[in-house]
Structure 1
Amino acid sequence: MNTKKKSRMSEARPEDKRLPIGSTFAYGFQHVLTMYGGIIAPPLIIGAAAGMTSQDIGLLIAACLFVGGLATILQTIGIPFFGSQLPLVQGVSFAGVSTMVAIVNGGGGIQAVFGSVMVASLIGLAITPLFSRIIKFFPPVVTGTVITTIGLTLMPVAANWAMGGNAKAPNYGSMANIGLAAATFVVVLLLSKVGNAAISRLSILLAMVAGTAIAFVTGMADFSKVGQGDILAFPTPFAFGMPTFEIASIISMLIVILVTLTETSADIIAVGEIVDTKVDSRRIGDGLRADMLSSAISPIFNSFTQSAFAQNVGLVAITGIKSRFVVSAGGLILVVLGLLPVLGRVVAAVPTPVLGGAGVVLFGTVAASGIRTLSKVEYRNNMNLIIVAASIGFGMIPIAAPAFYNQFPAWFSTIFHSGISSAALMAIVLNVLFNHFRAGNTDNQSVFVAGTGRVIREEDIACLADGDRYEDGKLIDCDGKEVPVQPASKPAGH
């Protein structure tokens, strides 16, 4: 009896809904396309910094796809104590790219990167109970701020993709690249408007296909390298040598892990808001442990730190497909791409500007979801407005001025160079100071709050009698009769 009851409760969760197998893999493939550019960028950057050949970088990319797929399956399907069972796509975290490049350039090589990732992730796994208990410090004023900031901080990524993705390329920012991105963007909007719900939900995927077709016809898509290289290849454990362990590298990577834990906590809460499902401290803890376990194991298969991809949170919001099994299918596709480099090369042939055009809508949807959450926040007679203002402003600093923290200590710049972690930390701290520790708070509204409440002029209510009320858009007097409301007269000349 209890088992049946628990089963019914589980099926009631929006994320547990199952779709037909064809739709599941179609939407899953859409998730893969959305994050593909993001998941291959870190190994490209780190491999280039390590002086690897193009063939070795290709192996590194395949390994990152393979591990990202396994991590996604663990996060979405879950096992006891590991996995949030939410529609979150996992992949190599951008947060550690600059630190890993610094380790490589410092003489440690790629082996020191792998070693530092393993040790720092195991330490992160040990401290996840601390992070899982911060749920009470994430009310809507914090979650809305973080979700909005996630969307805003991803916009430079979309813009970079739309311009071509490679700032050193001669056609970077060309009219052709931006035009292709704009064409993809328009297709997304047109397909989103059509009456067919299935087409509307697949608008991102179909727009990418259409954008790639346009690029092929105009000579902007290159499929010549699809046939080059192995068709099937399993990631070889420790293919680049055994990891080495350096104290300085481990300490630097531990800071990255703390940032990753903060960002993943925010992503778990964000997708919980979007899916409209309960996210408690236990679920956050399970998600963070999946993150850290995946990150600790990934160097064995030549990959790096794993975390939830914020851009795919936007895809969940824009499509309305909340099923975690759709994302699990995406994880399986990633595993296959990691085992079949030839399929990975096909997906890699999708021009970067096409990703950029779709990314504008995706990342904008994340910000819009945050704004929707912020609309639920009470702003009267409190300091919530300054919490939102200061946190979003603080999160925008590294986006508006990427070199802002360059002169700060490395540990500080690592943490605050991420707009997401900057806004999250500021929102949490200010919420605690203003809403949890109320001692010293003024009784008078500050300049940040004054004027945010509704004000009605005395002459507007002078005609009302005791017992009058407003119901269902109608003014009802004390006797229960409707009082006609005269429309406001237009000024002369209009």
Structure 2
Amino acid sequence: MSIRGNKRSQADTQNARTASPRPEDHRQPPFLTLAYGFQHVLTMYAGLVAVPLIVGQAANLSDANTAFLITAAFFMGGLITLLQTLGLPFIGSQLPLMQGVSFDTVAIMTAIVSATGGLQAVFGAVLVASIFGFLFAPVISKALRFFPPVVTGSLITVIGLSLLPVTINWTMGGDSAAADYGSLSNIGLGAITLAIGLVLSKFKSGVISRLAILLAIVAGTVIALPLGKADFSGVASSTVFAFPTPLHFGMPTFHLSAIVSMIIGILVILTETTADILALREIVGTKVDNKRFTAGLRADMASGIIAPFFGSFPQSAFAQNIGLVAVTGVKSRFVVATAGGILVILGLFPILGRIVTAIPSAVLGGAGFLLFGSVAASGIRMLADVDYRHNMNLIIVAVTISVGIIPAAAPDFYAQFPSWFQTIASSGISSAAIVAVSLNILFNHIHLGTPEEPSVFAAAGTGRQLSPGVSAALKHGDHVINGQIIDAKGNEVPVVKHNSHPS
């Protein structure tokens, strides 16, 4: 028994040594980790700055207080990114998720400011609603069985497509009120940045191709300088160091109507983060169980509990950074954690933030075409593997994508709907998630009333089937040429015949 036990122990030890680590746990050399991390910061900084600017204007804040909101957004985004990527017990998914102030609650926050006249009511509503979301997170994670590939593939596609108007706006200049908005110079600058990124991505050097986005942004900014598109004059007058002062705007106040509205916004964030985690799970190729999934949602909600005390707002994962992971293939959570550390530093040193924010929007727009398009492409690739025979999966995909694109294609589509409905539906990702899950339950889980004959929308089956053993032996990239099975590298896979009745 002891010999067998020793052999088993040795075998277990050997298996542990040879087991493949999680892709997200891979570490890059320090210099590359820093470079890749900075690339993540440049990818998301414009979206991070936009929310405090909008809310600050709605609250009629002074330039100094608006700058404080921006600094706090950097600081909290970095702090929650570190929490999400590195993790604490029961909090943090340990996935390469970049966190930043969520757009989903902007309309709610501006409405609260208009109704109450101050940010204190916003912070109070965020605090209470985030506590509710923190406690509600396990309920969301238990519903993962309702997110099969037909749902997740549709949601990932919608995430990518819904972000394209953002990058188009950036390419046109970012500010629709500016005189040069949509000018050939802005669009041309974005096109040059995109072209540089495409050329660099073709380099045989893995480092250069993976840093193609960062290098393209740097090159685009250099080109923009003599054209007068990049202005770094404000850097010298910026404050060098400033710590986000706790309760800078005063103690939070609590209004029932504001809290109820914010709870709706928090549910939208939870829904969108669900889609983001599922998308990243497929892109990274890692296992995310219910426990890990819940921990990721809790990190989002923890941000809303902490942020109000530092003058900031709820955080969520940034989809454009998921696109960056897909484009570069750099799946390390430590790279994104480094990006979080950079954000914390930017939050402590406003002068560094001013340098980053001086990058022209058109340059970011050119890079965005690569980033956001890659997210949509990842979803389309997943949908290609979905079985559409004798089921309604085609309808699930069609309706989900159609509904998800409405806010991007027609921003005023829901203008006449009740405000609570606008809050949910104005996020294409959230509305798509609700539709996809509902249709999947209706068509694939509820069999009552399902006709024996398939719907006219169901793809017809070929009648051909493979045994489980044969299908399990096939790998991604295998294909058939002239009756022979060829693997992804072009090598023939031998077919071995087994006699069922040996002589």
Q: Under a length normalisation based on structure 1, what TM-score does the superposition of the two structures give? A: 0.90
Please, which runs of 5 or more residues in structure 2 have no aligned partner?
1-8, 465-478, 485-503
Q: Distance in 2 between matches of 1:334 and 1:347?
A: 11
What is the aligned counterpart of 1:337 among 346, 354, 357?
346
Residue in structure 2 matched with residue 270 of structure 1 by the alignment: 279
Superposed, 1:124-143 pairs within 5 Å as 124-143=133-152
Note if contact 1:221-1:350 (Cα within 8 Å) is conserved in structure 2. yes
Deviations 1:354-386 (A, max 9, x none): 111101110000000000111110001111000
Superposed, 1:102-251 pairs within 5 Å as 102-251=111-260
What is the aligned counterpart of 1:64 among 70, 73, 76?
73
Change (3 A) 1:5 1:412: farther
Residue in structure 2 matched with residue 395 of structure 1 by the alignment: 404
What is the aligned counterpart of 1:363 among 372, 376, 381?
372
Residue in structure 2 matched with residue 85 of structure 1 by the alignment: 94
The alpha-carbon deviation at position 8 of structure 1 amounts to 5.3
Residue in structure 2 matched with residue 317 of structure 1 by the alignment: 326
Query: What amino acid is aligned across from residue 91 of structure 1 in structure 2?
Result: G
Note if contact 2:72-2:312 (Cα within 8 Å) is conserved in structure 1. yes
Q: Distance in 2 between matches of 1:10 and 1:327?
A: 24
Note if contact 1:143-1:269 (Cα within 8 Å) is conserved in structure 2. yes
The alpha-carbon deviation at position 229 of structure 1 amounts to 2.4
Query: What amino acid is aligned across from residue 473 of structure 1 in structure 2?
Result: I
SS of the residue 2:236 aligns to: coil
The alpha-carbon deviation at position 472 of structure 1 amounts to 5.0
Q: Number of residues paired by the alignment?
A: 461
1:74 and 2:74 aligned: no
Change (3 A) 1:26 1:390: same
Note if contact 2:390-2:455 (Cα within 8 Å) is conserved in structure 1. no
Q: Could you tell which deviates more after superposition, 372-381 or 107-116?
A: 107-116
Q: Could you tell which deviates more after superposition, 48-57 or 437-446?
A: 437-446
The alpha-carbon deviation at position 473 of structure 1 amounts to 2.3
Note if contact 1:149-1:392 (Cα within 8 Å) is conserved in structure 2. yes
Residue in structure 1 matched with residue 414 of structure 2 by the alignment: 405
The alpha-carbon deviation at position 438 of structure 1 amounts to 1.6
The alpha-carbon deviation at position 108 of structure 1 amounts to 3.6
Q: Distance in 2 between matches of 1:5 and 1:283?
A: 26
The alpha-carbon deviation at position 447 of structure 1 amounts to 2.4
Q: Distance in 2 between matches of 1:99 and 1:10?
A: 47
Deviations 1:46-82 (A, max 9, x none): 0011111112111110000000000000000001100
Note if contact 1:10-1:16 (Cα within 8 Å) is conserved in structure 2. no
Note if contact 2:59-2:117 (Cα within 8 Å) is conserved in structure 1. no
Note if contact 1:11-1:17 (Cα within 8 Å) is conserved in structure 2. no
Q: Could you tell which deviates more after superposition, 394-403 or 419-428?
A: 394-403
- Aligned-pair identity in percent equals 58
Deviations 1:379-416 (A, max 9, x none): 01111000000111111112111111111111111001
Change (3 A) 1:218 1:95: same
What is the aligned counterpart of 1:31 among 32, 40, 48?
40
Runs (4 or more) in structure 1 with deviation over 4 Å come to 1-11, 452-456
Query: What amino acid is aligned across from residue 474 of structure 1 in structure 2?
Result: N
1:296 and 2:305 aligned: yes
Change (3 A) 1:9 1:75: farther
The alpha-carbon deviation at position 303 of structure 1 amounts to 0.5
Deviations 1:10-41 (A, max 9, x none): 96100000111111111000000000000000
Deviations 1:230-254 (A, max 9, x none): 1000000011111111111111111
Query: What amino acid is aligned across from residue 481 of structure 2 in structure 1?
Result: G
Query: What amino acid is aligned across from residue 447 of structure 2 in structure 1?
Result: R
Q: Distance in 2 between matches of 1:248 and 1:8?
A: 56
Q: Under a length normalisation based on structure 2, what TM-score does the superposition of the two structures give? A: 0.89
Q: Distance in 2 between matches of 1:91 and 1:258?
A: 17
The alpha-carbon deviation at position 132 of structure 1 amounts to 1.1
1:473 and 2:481 aligned: yes
Q: Distance in 2 between matches of 1:221 and 1:444?
A: 63
SS of the residue 2:225 aligns to: helix
Note if contact 2:388-2:458 (Cα within 8 Å) is conserved in structure 1. yes
Q: Distance in 1 between matches of 2:333 and 2:483?
A: 47
Residue in structure 1 matched with residue 470 of structure 2 by the alignment: none
1:54 and 2:63 aligned: yes
